[in-house]
Structure formats: structure tokens, C-alpha cells
Structure 1
């Protein structure tokens, strides 16, 4: 049986080969920090079964490029160790150097904070769940980490440790807290998975010298959603999602061979969400919980689903119209050269709860292509 040290090195090397890691200090952090210390009580496997620390193959199950869910409340995951390739992409997007001051909103297991610390950052991490903080604290203590772990409301950030060079958010949010921006040094930025069309692409948000706030796409992603003002629904926001749609009555054929991979599919999904505010996540009938991009009709069960191979399925009384609209949006994405999430930029505006507002993107654009709104 391979040791933790061997598995960590193999895992880091695999992430490098896959292109998830490009910076040596990030590779060394993944090779140095034992992920099993942060799921010491076990975790939920992909099939929902509990993987106990004394189970055979536990270490092998830990060192996979997948989410490890550590807490479920009322059937909903509320804490986890995120997918390592996504953690690596976000850590690299922070552009860390030795001594970079980082505030992390959403401590989770503590693993991500430990990785950033091992890569040279000085990390403060905050989480609102006392039991999550307690477990993360115990895990960080076992590896003698210098991470500063705090119990607090993520919306508030952590003013006592400010100013920060970077803020990284590891939970899905509807927008960016003004307090995070206030706690940054000039030229600093927030990296956050901001809700868009039923998923949470990672955005980089920063305040310009004139006080305006702007967002730019970084990468596709999926995260558990935050609670409170960070999950506010505001005017013009996309629908939050849908259960199964009605059986389809209209079909448009597949057009991508091979089908788009998960990243390119989410690139297309992002663009469709820019152009049509009815875009969100939905499930087809008998989907066993597996859904995808859809345009939702106001009629329950109605709309159109869009799949990685470009196929479109229309449901409900307006199935033909929705299928045609969805097909036209795919045409538009293809005609523009299939822009990826990092190609998009947007100004941000304050919205959400008036007492605890959030900055949200408005009028996404492709630089040089003019307004992107349909």
C-alpha cells in the first residue's frame, strides 16, 4: 500500500500533467499538505456512501480529483473539501508570492487555506459554522499550520486582519460583499464563485481608482451556495433552477462531435446566460438528478434543455419557440468563436438586501465586441 507521502507526490504530479497546476510552488504545496488530515472523520463518497477513515482504500479515495463532502444537512451538502483541480486553478489565479496576505471566506475543511499557506501566503480564513471551524482548527493543528482561523460571518470579511492583498471565496455567492473590497489594499482583488445562470463561475472583482467595480471571468466552477445576504435574489437575476421539466415534444439534433467537455459546455452555458436571463439549471424527465443548462418557461415544466453535444429538447406549451431560441443562442456562441468564461468582462452594481448589499455583474461584454445583452 502506498504511503500518504507517495500518494501526495503522485497526485501533485498528475495535476501538473493535466494542466491544473502550472506553478512549482503550488505543486509543492499539494505534495506537502496531507489531504487526509482534513477529512479525518470520513466523508461522503460520490455515490453518497460514507467513507470511514478505517475503511480499506481510504487514502486512495482521498487522493482523487473530486469533491469530498464532509457535512450534509437535510440532504444538502454544507461543507466539503473542494475538487483539487479547481482549488489549484483558483490558487494560481491569486498570483501568490511569499508573504501575500489572503483572506479566505469559507474555511471548509481547512485544506485550501493550508495549501495557500504552504505556497507562501499569510492566510486568514473565516467560516460561520462553529462545528466546521472546530474541525478545521483540529486539522490545521495536526500539521502545525500558521493559518489564522476565525469564526465569523463571511459577508463581514475579517476587518481585524486587514488590509489583504487578495480575498478568495470558496462558497457560491450571488455577489461580492462591499466589505471584502474595503478590506483590500489598492490594486488587490476578490476571487469569488458568483452565481450565474444556475452555476457559480469564478470571477475576479476589483475596485478601480475612480471607485467603480468591475468583474472578469476566470473559470467555470460549481460550488455549494452560501446563506444570508450572500445568496440574495435581486431584480433581473436568473432563475435559481428547476426540477424536472415535462417530457420533451420538440428536438433539435446534436451538433458537436465529440460533445463539448465539461469546461467548454460551461463556457457555452455562461454565454447563453449572458444573452438570455431565463437560462439556469434544470433536469430533464427521469434524469436521476442529472441536469444541465436550460431556458425556463414561466409555465411549470416548460422550456428547453441544451446539452454538451448541442442537442436541444423543448418542453411545455411553448416548446417550439424555446427550442428555436436555444438553438439560436448556440449559433451565436459558435459564430463568436466559442468564447470561454475568461473572455467576458462586466461592470458591477450594488443590489440585493438594502441593509447588506452585494456587488453583482451587469451588462457582460466581450471586449471589442460591444454589449453582449440580447
Structure 2
């Protein structure tokens, strides 16, 4: 332990300012539209902007103004706060004493997604979005490294095992897909009167210019124009996760995804049944994904699978293109870490990755053609 993690979190990590954000004009305006009073005390806001545990569980020094602090992610620390910096105490001992296993990708993904995507018991609803809350987007490997308060080194690896960013990307896609399906099939959280919870659907299927005439088919949905589509970007990416592992399973995910999209045009019961089938398939594959060694040989297979879907027109939805860019970043970093590229080649890949990200900078005016060209250029430069 470096024992400077708190200082790094406090200075650089946006989580440290999560509660303070609730006191700005934008947050107060959102709360006013929702009719929930002061956002800094409203349950709907505190669920994700603070460590909003029950009052009877709070220690003497607990402050809600700390925002998303250490214990928000690492668990109540009463039994391990002192021992976790003691080299004579093992990481497993700390876990037994209540530390949350953030080093395990499945557990970390579920924890992060509980806020960055929402769950049945704390939903980021379409109503909240309609009041002005930003659109949510998340990818486990990318977001893990946006503001790290620790370093992966020999000591970390000795305690917790080898780090693999592509594996974390893969696991994150599967857990996010499961999370979507779990909320969709939850009758209290996934539905609002006669409507499903619209935050589960693709924003840009509806939010586009009325004069836009650019609709085109997506083979992954099997739906025609004018149909509200589930946001299946994580399910789509999970097929690429499986490309180096099990192509037959990837094909099965595609067919079941198409079945789910079709079911949404039939009935609630049909949707629930299709969602549960797909969830069971993903759940059965997730342990294999988590255990797979996404080594150098798997990277080209993943990029080839991603590009093949681009050729088939799968990235017509902005959310999918956004996930592709973050996946490409994980692969490029892996190329560097695995020693597959020299410094000159790495710089070229980074430049083309920046170009790819630039094409999705503005979700309201992004160009599918420019995105497709940037992805092809990145793929061409890969080893």
C-alpha cells in the first residue's frame, strides 16, 4: 500500500466531488423539475452521489458530504481499516473482514454498474434523464483507468494476481448486458405504467431530427424503421468478447438478441421470456470469459470481429459506436503492454485511436461514415 490513496482520491477523483455536484445550479434545476426538493438530501440523488447508507450504520465521523468515498466502493472498513496496510495481513483476510473485492472484475463491474448504469433498486430513469441528467455511459476497463488512485506493480500482482485490461473489458460487457436484462424483466423497475422504462432503450432511436432520412437496417436487431430499440450495445460487444473463445456461442448470442428485439414488438411476456433466455446464456458464459487469458493472439481476432460488424452496418447506433471506441482503446493498450508494437507503431495506433474518438465526440452530430473510416484506419495499422 502506498498509503497516499486518500490524498489522490481527494485531489483528482471526480467521485470525491460527487455530493458537491448536487449543490450546483444544474442539479437544483433537475431536482426542481422532478419535484424532489433539495438534491443534496434527496434519496434519488444520494443513491449514487454519496455513500448513502442507513443512518444507523454510520460511524461517528461519517459525513454525507464526502460523496463517493473509500467505503462506497471498498466496503465498511471497521474490521480492516488498519490491517489493509499491514504487509503481514493477506488480501484474503481483508476480504473476510468485509473489504469488497474490487480486484475481481465481475465483482467490480457489478459495483460500478450499480451507479453508472443503474439497478432495479436504484434506477437512473428516463424521467431523471428528461429532467436534464446526462446520458449514462460506461465501460469497465476504460473507466477503471480514468482516475486511478493506485498503481499496478509487482507488489499488487503478488497480492491480487495478474491484471488483464482486455479481460476486464470483456467481463464488463457481459455484466452490463446481464444488468440490462435483469432490470428489463423486473416488473416494478423495468416498466412505468403501460410503457417500459425507456432508459433501457437506445436514445437515438427516437432523439434525432424529424427531417432525418438516414434510417438503415441493422442485422443484429431484425427490426424495421420507426421501432424503438433496446440499447443492446453491451450485448453486441459481448459477441466480440466471445470471438477468440467460442464462435458458436457468439452466433447463439446474435440469434437470441434478434429474438429479444422481435419479442419487444409482440408482448411483455414474450419480452420477458426472450430476455431470460439471453440472460441465462450470458450468465453461463461469463465464468469462461472471466477465466480466459486474453493474450496477444486474441487481440487480432477481437478487432477482426469488430470490423466485420462494421462492414455489416451494426454500428448505426451511437451507443454501439461509443462502446467500439472504448474497446479499441483496451486492445491498443494491450498491444503496447504485450510488446506487440514498438514505440513508433504505438504512436501511430494512438493517433488513429484519437481520430476514432474524435468522430464520436458529439453524439448529436456524429458521422457514421467518418466513424467507419476511422475504425478501418485503426484496424489497418494494427499488427
Q: TM-score, normalised by structure 2?
A: 0.32
Q: TM-score, normalised by structure 1?
A: 0.32
Please identify which structure carries the higher helix content: 2
